């Protein structure tokens, strides 16, 4: 997904939601690959609802990359609660995999 500068056009909204659906659709991709795709989507997610959608998608693909990405949003006041839930969910999922 192309990265938009903070001053350039914002490709969010329906396009971002569609991309999140596409990247998180079950496929042969590994959890790490899906997390990388979601990270790319987060680069263009300007609105809180877009970041919440990305956090929701991340929880379905437990891996250290997803956990690291969710942790980066814990300090974002607009999505901090959702980020904490995602972190807890991912930590719990990863603890069962060990």
**Nearest alpha carbon to residue 86 among 58, 65, 46:** 58
Q: What pLDDT score was predicted for residue 63?
A: 95
Instruction: Confirm whether 9 is domain-assigned.
Output: no
Q: What pLDDT score was predicted for residue 11?
A: 54
Instruction: Confirm whether 6 is domain-assigned.
Output: no
Instruction: Confirm whether 2 is domain-assigned.
Output: no
Instruction: Confirm whether 41 is domain-assigned.
Output: yes
Q: pLDDT tens digits, the chain, 98 residues: what are they?
A: 344 444 444 556 777 777 787 777 777 889 999 999 999 889 888 899 999 999 999 999 999 999 999 999 999 999 999 999 999 999 999 996 65
Q: What pLDDT score was predicted for residue 12?
A: 61
Per the structure, the count of domains in the chain is: 1
> Given CA atoms 20, 24, 27, 33 in this order, what sign does their dihedral have?
positive
Provide the greatest CA pair distance for the chain. 43
**What is the extent of the structural domain holding 26?**
14-97
Q: What pLDDT score was predicted for residue 8?
A: 45
Instruction: Confirm whether 3 is domain-assigned.
Output: no
Instruction: Confirm whether 40 is domain-assigned.
Output: yes
Instruction: Confirm whether 57 is domain-assigned.
Output: yes
Instruction: Confirm whether 8 is domain-assigned.
Output: no
Alpha carbon of residue 45 to chain centroid:
10
Which pTM was predicted? 0.79
């Amino acid at each position: 997904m192309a990265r938009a500068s903070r001053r350039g056009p914002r490709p969010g909204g329906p396009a971002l939601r569609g991309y999140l659906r596409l990247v998180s659709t079950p496929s042969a991709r590994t959890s790490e690959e899906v997390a990388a795709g979601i990270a790319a989507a987060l680069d263009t997610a300007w609105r809180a609802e877009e970041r919440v959608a990305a956090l929701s998608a991340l929880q379905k693909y437990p891996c250290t990359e997803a956990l690291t990405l969710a942790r980066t949003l814990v300090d974002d006041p607009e999505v901090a609660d959702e980020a904490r839930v995602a972190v807890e969910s991912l930590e719990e999922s990863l603890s069962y995999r060990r």
